[in-house]
Amino acid sequence: MDCIFCRIVAGEIPSHKVYEDDATFAFLDIYPAARGHTLVIPKAHTTDLLSAAPEALEAAVRTSQTVARILHNVLQAHGISIVQNNGRAAGQDVFHYHVHVIPRWEGDKAVRSWRPGETDHGVLGALAAELRAGGGT
C-alpha cells in the first residue's frame, strides 16, 4: 500500500489521533497552519471529491463537525476554517481525500484567502446558465 494516509489508518506509520469512528479517522497535521490543525479522512481509500462515494463524504463532514466542536471547546477557537483541496492544481499533495479543520483566532493569518475579482452580471448570468446546463452530474 503506497498511500500514506491508508498506512496511518492501518497503524503502520504513527499519527497523533484526535478522533476515530467506524468510517473516519482524524489526526493532527504534521505541518500545522495553526495549533490544533486536524485532518479528517474516510478510512476507506478514496482519492478526491470528484470520485468519493457520497457516504464517505457524509461521514467526513460529520467528523469535521465533531472535530470543530472539540477545537472550539478545548482550544477556545474563535472560528473554524475548512480547507479541502482536490487535484494537483488545487494544491492537493496527498491523494487520499481529506478535510483540513483549522482553528482560527481573531487576527490570525493562518489561512490565506483569494483576491475578489470584478462583478459582471452579464458574464455571471451566462456562466451560471452554462453550468446549469451541465446537469450537476
Cβ proximity to ligand AMP: between 23 and 82 the closer is: 82
Cell of 42: 474516510
| Cα angle value 36/42/48 (rounded, 5°) | 95
Which of helix, strand or coil describes residue 90?
helix
Nearer to ligand AMP, 29 or 108 (CB): 29
Indicate which of ligand AMP, Zn ion, none lies near residue 91 (CB less than 5 to 8 Å, by partner kind): ligand AMP
What's the rounded Cα separation, in Å, for the pair 134 and 108? Answer: 39
Active site residue 98: yes
Q: What residue 66 binds from Zn ion, ligand AMP, none (CB within 5 to 8 A, per partner kind)?
A: none
Report residue 70 CA to chain centroid gap: 16
Amino acid letter for position 65: Q
For CA atoms 45, 51, 52, 53, give the dihedral sign.
Answer: negative
Distance of closest approach, residue 42 Cβ to ligand AMP, in angstroms: 14
The residues of the shown chain that bind ligand AMP, judged by CB under 6 A, are 4, 15, 29-31, 39, 85, 91-94
Catalytic residue among 45, 78, 96, 98: 98
The option from ligand AMP, Zn ion, none interacting with 92 (CB < 5 to 8 A, set by class) reads ligand AMP
